[in-house]
Amino acid sequence: MINHNKQLIPQPQPQPQPQPRKKRTATGLMDITEPQEVEFNSLGQHCGHKQNKFANDCGVVTRKLISIEYPTWKKVPANEKENLCLTIKKRWNIHDEKRRAYVLMTCNHKWRSYKKRLKKNFLTNERNPLETYSYLEKTALQKFKERISSKEFQDISEKAKMSSMCNTNPARVGPHGYRGNKPKWEQEKASGELPPQLYEIKSERSLDYVLGRRSKNESGSKIIPPNMEPIVKKLIDVQKEISNGDLLPGPGEDLLTMAIGPEHPGRTRAVGHDIGLRKGMQGIEKKRGKPWTKKLLTITHCDLVLPYGDMNQKCARGMVFPYNDGLIHSLPLRENHLKVMIDNIDERYKGVPVPVMTNEVGILEDAVGTVIQWPRIAVVLSKTNLVVHVVADAGHLEAGAFDFSVTYEEYYRLLKKQTTDLSIITTWQILLHLMLRKRMGKCAFLNPYKILGKACQETPIDVVNYLVDAMQLHHGKSFLIAPYLQNTHWVLLVICPSNHIVYILDSLMKPMKNLVDNYHLLKHMEKAFERYEKNTSIPIVWKLTECNQVGVLERELSGHYIMNWIFNFVLNRQHGFPSRLSTS
């Protein structure tokens, strides 16, 4: 009897077996019935939606036309290269002859990759490459096998492997390269999808370098891998130094090279393996000047060039000092920098930031008459001895000895009745002290370098300290003669410490209500008198004295008048002072 209530037990169905993944075959030659169009960017790289098709086609055509028996691309005959280039240009409608070099470079890269695949995927595994590449010649294949089996080739291959292991941050840009990913990265940047710290990197190439090395996390989002975080931090730190003016890129440098080191000459990071430095770092001079290594034994005349660009823009002249440590404007001397004193500048560059900015000196115009740091590579030493080293003995201008230098050019400007430099006035004071020593009993000179108008504004404490020290050094002297340079114009001050009178001789004398506001040095002189005598009850009397006058267009003669007034005062006018002070 049949039991109709018995439940039917479902039988397990056989599971479909997974199909083996189809192996990728060699790329075949595109069937092109008419010339195709391919785009090129400003660097000459192929780009656009047919970027990969063009590259693949170059590879297939090269494999068919160029034999693997040639050891290197340089060994390929010129006529075969020409035939290859013409074939590709016809297939891709390329008429611009300027594209020839880039097309051949692309073919070279594809040809090398092809030989690398042959060695790795076939010959190492003892597979027959003729099954995949039927057009391979047996004789060429045999020569290729012999060459890669040679000791010479093995040594080169091992060296290349060791070199590749040093690349701890390989790019992850895929076959599209940096140029193919740029539109997508621009969208990410515009939509605010990038990590906040990446927006601090202002250099496009540096940002591309970071974006091209991101990896995917478990959720598929792009992240900065841990090994890239120190590089990102370094880029941001250097970017801040450049933005603050504390650091200037040198020749052949930009943010990326300053952070992670110089470029390989044949390719440019974050641009492409097929683009050299000349194109890849557009707008940046690639030629590096060779820094001179001459050891300085004394102060030397030099020209200063802008430490970037083509390194031939002379912006200033001055003196470079022997190598030394210590502080310059409270900052230590940087590596590969020198201590220089700026004597004069080219007015065209007066607003250019100095390489090492300080609170006192920001632009080149601020550096005249002061000591700053300058990159050694941008210091051009004088080829001939154009410098006279001068030393003022202790007690002449200050308590200790004071040394400086005078150039032949400064002497030339004096003879041509042009601008009179600080060094000329100071040398004149020293000569007068030696020549008229017997007449210097009542007089003493102040150091013009220590009371500059610029110093009065930037380092007033140093100026006041010097004035106090000078009055103490020359205690008992009736007259302190102070040549004072303010805004390229010379003024002579005759200071009488005993009766608190200061006589002012100005060749551009104009009626003015308040002399202290017109001459920066005067208010510091008031403070110096207070400290020197510790008596604030006696005010200083300022007397604008009648003297030789010049027109505004002849103001460069003010230094010549200063020299004449100093000479006359020491030789004659100090006697019977003050009735004989007038110089007109």
pLDDT digits (tens, 9 = 90+) for 288-303: 444 444 556 666 778 8
Which residues make Cβ contacts (< 8 Å) with residue 274, sequence separation at least 6?
45, 102, 105, 106, 109, 267
Average pLDDT rounded to a whole number, residues 523-549: 83
Which residues make Cβ contacts (< 8 Å) with residue 522, sequence separation at least 6?
502, 515, 516, 542
The tokens for 263 are 């470029």
The tokens for 465 are 């300290």
Phi-psi region of 523 (alpha: psi -120 to 50; beta: other; left: phi over 0): alpha
**Interatomic CA distance for residues 224 and 195, integer angstroms:** 9
pLDDT given for residue 290 in this prediction:
43
**Interatomic CA distance for residues 316 and 364, integer angstroms:** 8
| CA 79 and chain centroid, separation | 45
pLDDT bin (cut points 50, 70, 90) of residue 515 is confident
**Residue 209, φ and ψ in degrees, nearest 5:** -60, -40
**Interatomic CA distance for residues 237 and 243, integer angstroms:** 10
Q: Each residue of 375-400: pLDDT tens digit?
A: 888 888 776 556 678 888 888 888 88
Q: Are strands 541-544 and 331-332 parallel, antiparallel or unpaired?
A: unpaired
Helix runs in 249-362, H state only? 255-260, 277-280
Average pLDDT rounded to a whole number, residues 344-352: 89
Q: Each residue of 116-170: pLDDT tens digit?
A: 888 887 777 777 888 788 878 888 888 888 888 888 888 888 888 877 777 778 8
pLDDT given for residue 288 in this prediction:
45
- CB pairs under 8 A, 24+ apart, for 77-80? none
pLDDT bin (cut points 50, 70, 90) of residue 220 is confident
pLDDT bin (cut points 50, 70, 90) of residue 544 is confident
Q: Is the pTM of this model over 0.75?
A: no
pLDDT bin (cut points 50, 70, 90) of residue 513 is low
- Burial code (b: 16+ CB inside 10 Å, e: under 16) for 444-468 equals bbbbbbbbbbbbbebbeeebbbbbb
CA neighbor of 171 nearest in space, from 105, 267, 282: 267
Intra-chain end-to-end CA distance of the chain, in Å: 152
- Average model confidence (pLDDT) across the chain: 81
pLDDT bin (cut points 50, 70, 90) of residue 107 is very high
Return the CA Rg of the chain. 38
